[in-house]
């Protein structure tokens, strides 16, 4: 008997994707440098993933009658639509006005230059901006000098990225550096000394185990500054970020300054400069299209934490939650609960690195998936139960709570368990209807509906990729986006299955922060942390530090807590308002955990 072509193709596709996911899961669990939990916990994660992705979908589709099978296929289509198609449609709709305006505007570059010039006029006293870089030093020995070098003038070997006058560049890092890594830190201090109008400080956070802890340490450092010297805006950026345009930082500060008080954050668009074209094309759609769609769905805008501008008093009042693996999205949710919003600017862009290996990519996406589960099961119910949503009407609050629940439990949680049913149900339906077409005559329109949904899904994917391709990218070309459209289905199914691994880790409380690997050309020997804690840097390095003696003697900078340590919430009590309340409980936990390096 000749086997039907379509069911066989679907079967091969399903087995390949599911098998690849399980193999990658096993490799990730056995990777010595990333291992979390015991052998028993690793087996439980494998069993959970296999049940959710293979056993339950297969058993269900084999045992269900034809009527229930068609309903299940339609429900799986709804799950795919909620997780992919709906956010893409919203993102396309939000980006079209900007694209049309940019196509029709002939003198757009002059406007950006004029706004950038206005942003430099009459700067306030003290540091108007703080560029806060949180870095895991063994991972950033190559990227940190490059990141700082871009702020040098072009004639001095930099990219000429402009900063407001009196900008403070604050580097918070861990762990204790080796001599080779200390040389990199000294080089960073020397580079920062040549940046026009900027000052530099570096803080070691020896007991840090995540990015949020490093960022909170920087917030605590800013809280110790006098109100007249404290910056108005904090730009939190990753150590591998390259700014796309020379005036991007100035424009980001200006957007935040001119925004309504309810806008607490200005976020920018992120593109991949180094890495696989497949990941770069997916990232372009995710950060240009999907983030706009998610932000529209929950009405807040979208916060991407690799390069983001925050009002300083907001940053010190809220901080980053170290329990959540997507601390930027968690901050976005907490801000929304108090009536604050995010302005996600797709016309401001930065470049980042994609993970260098497939395993590193999977580890990163698993961390993101675990963070999304944390938000769905913890933060969103908390907001629905007790969020104040200041400035909204009663009806507006009710609608927003419904949208949050739909986003968390529909778009993010339920859909990833429904999508694995799509391929096996389609396979069984094609097989049954191919062998006994008379049984499917009464369900022809339902079966056709599944096919129509597939066509709509592909059309929306193509439109989303075309929209993403309309934005400038350093090296992606249109054929990359076109190729990604045809790979979208297997890639999308794999992306939908990967968060199931994250759920298993979340339920087992395996929430270790795993740093994303970087593309590197140096020997790993220079990236090995020292087992012996170093003291202060050499006298040459010390002369480059901008930390004052007063700051260095503060109890906040003791390497171990002491009974005399002052509570951060009382440091600036005379200021009143959110700034007078200082850092809040999350940032207060950073007290007494870091020391000066040079």
For residue 228, what pLDDT is reported? 87
- Assess contact for 292 and 95: CB atoms under 8 A: yes
Cβ atoms within 10 Å, residue 468: 27
pTM: 0.81
Report CA torsion sign: 314, 316, 317, 322.
positive
Burial of 271 (0-12, 13-18, 19+ CB in 10 A): buried
Closest CA to 90 of 295, 244, 262, 257: 295
pLDDT value of position 523: 41
Helix (H, G, I), strand (E, B) or coil at 209: coil
Q: What is the pLDDT along the chain (598 residues), one digit of tens a residue?
A: 444 565 666 667 767 766 766 666 655 554 434 556 677 887 888 888 888 888 898 899 888 988 899 999 999 999 989 888 999 999 999 888 887 777 776 444 444 444 444 444 444 443 489 999 999 999 899 899 999 999 999 999 999 999 999 999 999 999 999 999 999 999 999 999 999 989 999 999 988 888 999 999 999 999 999 988 899 999 999 999 999 999 999 999 999 999 999 999 999 999 888 888 888 888 888 888 898 999 999 988 899 889 999 999 999 999 999 889 999 999 999 999 999 999 999 889 999 988 877 777 777 888 888 999 999 999 999 999 998 898 889 999 999 999 999 999 999 999 989 988 888 888 888 888 877 888 778 877 888 888 888 889 889 988 888 888 888 888 888 888 888 887 776 676 666 667 888 898 889 888 777 777 777 654 433 333 333 333 333 323 333 333 332 332 222 333 333 222 222 333 333 333 333 233 333 444 443 333 333 3
Q: Is 169 helix (H, G, I), strand (E, B) or coil?
A: strand
H or E segment to which residue 177 belongs? none
Q: What is the DSSP letter of 465?
A: H
Return the closest-CA partner of residue 60 out of 44, 80, 76.
76
CA distance 280 to 42: 31
SS (H, E, C) 87-98: HHHHHHHHHHHH
Q: Are 281 and 486 in contact (CB under 8 A)?
A: no
d(CA 125, CA 232): 10
**What is the predicted pLDDT for the residue at 443?**
79
Residue 38 DSSP SS3: coil
Edge-to-edge strands, sheet with 263-274:
242-243, 341-353, 263-274, 307-311, 233-238, 129-136, 167-174, 198-204, 595-596
**DSSP reduced 3-state for 137:** helix
Whole-angstrom CA distances from 452 to 133, 447, 493 are: 48, 9, 18
Query: Which long-range contacts link 558-562 to residues 24+ away (Cβ below 8 Å)?
Result: 558/592, 558/595, 559/206, 559/592, 559/593, 559/594, 559/595, 560/592, 561/591, 561/592, 562/592
CA 278, 283, 285, 290 torsion: positive or negative? positive
Taking alpha carbons only, the member of 84, 504, 588, 496 closest to residue 293 is 84
Instruction: Report the candidate in 491, 514, 518 with the shortest Cα–Cα distance to residue 371.
Output: 514
Task: Work out the angle between the directed axes of helices 478-507 and 5-30 (0-180°, nearest 10).
Answer: 60
Q: What is the pLDDT of residue 592?
A: 37
372: enclosing H helix or E strand: helix 358-374
Distance CA 571, CA 593 (A): 17
Contact 77, 450 (CB under 8 A): yes
Q: Which two tokens stand for residue 231?
A: 């910056």
Contacts of 384 (CB under 8 A, 6+ apart): 401, 404, 405
Architecture of domain 90-360+541-596: Alpha-Beta Complex (3.90)
Give the residue among 310, 321, 240 at the shortest CA–CA distance from 268. Answer: 310
Query: Please, how many CA atoms are within 13 Å of residue 150, restricted to the half-sphere of its CB?
Result: 18
* Token pair of 510 as six digits: 């395996």
Structure tokens at 545: 């530090």
pLDDT at 429: 84
Q: How do the domains of the chain map onto residue ranges? A: 90-360+541-596
Separation between Cα atoms, residue 137 and residue 526, nearest integer Å: 11
């Amino acid at each position: 008997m000749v086997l039907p072509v379509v069911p066989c193709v679907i079967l091969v596709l399903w087995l390949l994707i599911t098998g690849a996911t399980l193999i990658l899961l096993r490799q990730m669990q056995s990777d010595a440098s990333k291992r979390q939990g015991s052998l028993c916990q690793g087996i439980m994660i494998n069993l959970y993933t296999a049940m959710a992705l293979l056993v339950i979908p297969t058993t269900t589709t084999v045992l269900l009658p034809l009527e229930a099978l068609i309903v299940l296929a339609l429900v799986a289509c709804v799950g795919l639509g909620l997780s992919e198609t709906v956010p893409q449609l919203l993102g396309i709709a939000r980006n079209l006005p900007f694209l049309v305006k940019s196509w029709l505007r002939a003198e757009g570059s002059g406007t950006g230059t004029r706004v950038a010039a206005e942003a430099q006029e009459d700067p306030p006293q003290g540091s108007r901006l703080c560029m806060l870089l949180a870095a895991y030093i063994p991972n950033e020995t190559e990227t940190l000098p490059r990141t700082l070098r871009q702020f040098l003038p072009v004639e001095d070997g930099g990219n000429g990225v402009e900063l407001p006058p009196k900008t403070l560049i604050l580097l918070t890092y861990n762990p204790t550096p080796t001599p080779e890594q200390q040389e990199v830190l000294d080089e960073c201090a020397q580079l920062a000394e040549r940046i026009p109008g900027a000052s530099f400080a570096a803080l070691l956070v020896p007991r840090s185990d995540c990015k949020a802890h490093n960022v909170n340490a920087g917030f605590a450092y800013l809280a110790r500054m006098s109100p007249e010297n404290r910056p108005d805006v904090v730009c939190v950026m990753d150590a591998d970020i390259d700014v796309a345009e020379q005036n991007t930082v100035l424009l980001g500060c200006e957007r935040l300054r001119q925004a309504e008080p309810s806008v607490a954050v200005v976020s920018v668009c992120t593109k991949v400069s180094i890495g696989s074209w497949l990941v770069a094309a997916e990232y372009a759609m995710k950060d240009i299209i999907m983030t706009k769609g998610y932000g529209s769905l929950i009405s807040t805008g979208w916060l991407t934490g690799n390069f983001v501008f925050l009002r300083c008093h907001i940053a010190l009042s809220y901080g980053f939650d170290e329990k959540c693996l997507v601390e930027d999205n968690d901050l976005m949710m907490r801000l929304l609960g108090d009536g604050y919003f995010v302005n996600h600017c797709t016309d401001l862009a930065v470049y980042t690195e994609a993970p260098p290996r497939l395993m590193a990519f999977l580890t990163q996406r698993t961390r993101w998936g675990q963070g999304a589960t944390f938000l769905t099961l913890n933060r969103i119910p908390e907001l629905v139960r007790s969020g104040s949503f200041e400035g909204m009407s009663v009806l507006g609050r009710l609608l927003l709570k419904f949208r949050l629940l739909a986003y968390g439990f529909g778009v993010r949680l339920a859909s990833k368990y429904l999508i694995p049913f799509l391929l096996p149900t389609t396979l069984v339906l094609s097989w049954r209807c191919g062998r006994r077409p008379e049984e499917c005559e009464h369900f022809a329109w339902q079966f056709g509906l599944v096919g129509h949904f597939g066509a709509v899904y592909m059309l929306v994917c193509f439109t989303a990729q075309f929209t993403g391709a309309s934005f400038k990218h350093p090296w992606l070309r249109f054929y990359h986006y076109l190729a990604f459209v045809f790979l979208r289905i297997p890639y999308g199914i794999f992306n939908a299955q990967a968060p199931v691994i994250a759920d298993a880790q979340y339920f087992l409380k395996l929430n270790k922060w795993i740093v994303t690997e970087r593309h590197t050309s140096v020997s790993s020997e220079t990236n090995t942390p020292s087992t012996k804690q170093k003291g202060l840097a050499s006298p040459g390095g010390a002369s480059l530090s901008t930390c004052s003696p007063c700051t260095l003697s503060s109890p906040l900078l003791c390497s171990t807590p002491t009974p005399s340590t002052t509570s951060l919430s009382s440091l600036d009590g005379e200021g009143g308002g959110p700034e007078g309340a200082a850092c809040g409980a999350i940032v207060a936990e950073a007290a007494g955990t870091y020391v000066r390096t040079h």
